[in-house]
A and B are shown apart, each in its own frame.
Chain A
Amino acid sequence: MNTELTLEWVLIGINGVAIISIVQIGKICLFKVISFFKMYQTVALAIAFSPRMEALISETKRLVQLFGSELILIHIGKKTDELETKLDEIILKTGLDKLKTKLIWKEGKPVKMIIQACKEEKADLLVAGALKREGFLTYYMGSVGRKIIRKAPCSVLTLIEPNVESTVFEKIVLNGTQLEITPHVIEVGINFSKQIKADQVHILNEIKMYGLQMGTASEDSEEEASQTRRQLVQNEVEYVERILNKIDQGELKINIKVTGGRWAVELARFCEKIDADLLVVGDDHKLNFFDRIFPHDLEDLLSTLPCNLLIVKI
Chain B
Amino acid sequence: METLDHKEVINLLLQLASILILARVFAELARKFKQPAVVGEIFAGIILGPTILGNFFPGAQEYLFGAHEMTNIAFDGFVQISVVLLLFIAGLEVELHIVWSQGKKALYIAVASMILPIIAGFVVAYAFPEFLGVNINDRVVASTFFGLAISITGLAIVARILMDLNLFKTSSGLLIIAGAMIVDVLGWLIFSVILSLSESGSDGLGVWPTIGLTLLFTLVMLTIGKGLINRVLPWINKKLAWPGGLLSLSLALCFLAASFTEFIGIHAIFGAFIIGVALGDSEYLTEKAKEILHQFINNIFAPIFFVSIGLKVNFITGFDPGIVGVVIVVGLLTKYYGAYFGGRLAGVSRKESIVAGFGMSTRGSMDIVLGLIALENGLVTEPLFIGLVILAIIASMSAGPLIGWARNLKV
Interface size in chain A (residues, C-beta < 8 A): 31
Tell me the bound Cα distance from A215 to B95 in angstroms. Answer: 14
Tell me the bound Cα distance from A273 to B385 in angstroms. Answer: 54
Min CB–CB distance A182 → chain B (angstroms): 12
Min CB–CB distance A71 → chain B (angstroms): 35
Partner of B287, one of A235, A260, A293, A297: A260
Interface size in chain B (residues, C-beta < 8 A): 37
Min CB–CB distance A236 → chain B (angstroms): 9
Given A208-B174, A219-B27, A294-B100 in contact, is the A260-B160 Cβ separation under 8 Å?
no
Q: Which of B122-130, B189-197, B291-299, B323-331 is the interface stretch?
A: B291-299
Given A214-B294, A219-B31 in contact, is the A296-B169 Cβ separation under 8 Å?
no
Min CB–CB distance A69 → chain B (angstroms): 32
Min CB–CB distance B54 → chain A (angstroms): 28
Contacts of B98 in A (CB 8 A): 208-209
Is A290 within 8 A of B100, CB to CB?
yes
- B410: interface (CB < 8 Å): no
Tell me the bound Cα distance from A210 to B15 in angstroms. Answer: 34
Is B163 within 8 A of A260, CB to CB?
no
Tell me the bound Cα distance from A297 to B168 in angstroms. Answer: 20
Partner of B97, one of A210, A235, A296: A296
- A163: interface (CB < 8 Å): no
Is B37 within 8 A of A219, CB to CB?
yes
Tell me the bound Cα distance from A300 to B27 in angstroms. Answer: 41
Min CB–CB distance A19 → chain B (angstroms): 42
Contacts of A265 in B (CB 8 A): 283
Contacts of A215 in B (CB 8 A): 89, 156, 290-291, 293-295, 298
Min CB–CB distance B173 → chain A (angstroms): 10
Per-residue interface assignment for chain B, residues 162 to 198, with 1 indicating a CB less than 8 Å from any chain A CB and 0 otherwise: 0100001100001001000000000000000000000
Min CB–CB distance A288 → chain B (angstroms): 9
- A212: interface (CB < 8 Å): yes
- A178: interface (CB < 8 Å): yes
Tell me the bound Cα distance from A258 to B197 in angstroms. Answer: 49
- A35: interface (CB < 8 Å): no
Contacts of B288 in A (CB 8 A): 211, 260
- A216: interface (CB < 8 Å): yes
B155's closest neighbor in chain A, by CB? A212
Per-residue interface assignment for chain A, residues 205 to 239, with 1 indicating a CB less than 8 Å from any chain B CB and 0 otherwise: 00111111111111110000000100000010000
Given A209-B95, A213-B159, A261-B287 in contact, is the A296-B100 Cβ separation under 8 Å?
yes
Tell me the bound Cα distance from A175 to B96 in angstroms. Answer: 20
- A246: interface (CB < 8 Å): no
Given A208-B169, A291-B100 in contact, is the A216-B283 Cβ separation under 8 Å?
no
Q: Which residues of chain B in 272-315 are interfacial with respect to chain A, using CB atoms and an 8 Å cutoff?
A: 281, 283, 286-291, 293-295, 298-299
A210's closest neighbor in chain B, by CB? B287
A229's closest neighbor in chain B, by CB? B291
Give 10 new A-B contacts, CB below 8 A, not counting A213-B163, A219-B31, A219-B36. A208-B98, A209-B159, A210-B290, A211-B290, A212-B93, A215-B291, A219-B160, A260-B288, A261-B287, A296-B96
A and B contact pairs by CB, cutoff 8 A, 6 listed:
A213-B168, A215-B156, A215-B291, A216-B156, A293-B223, A296-B100
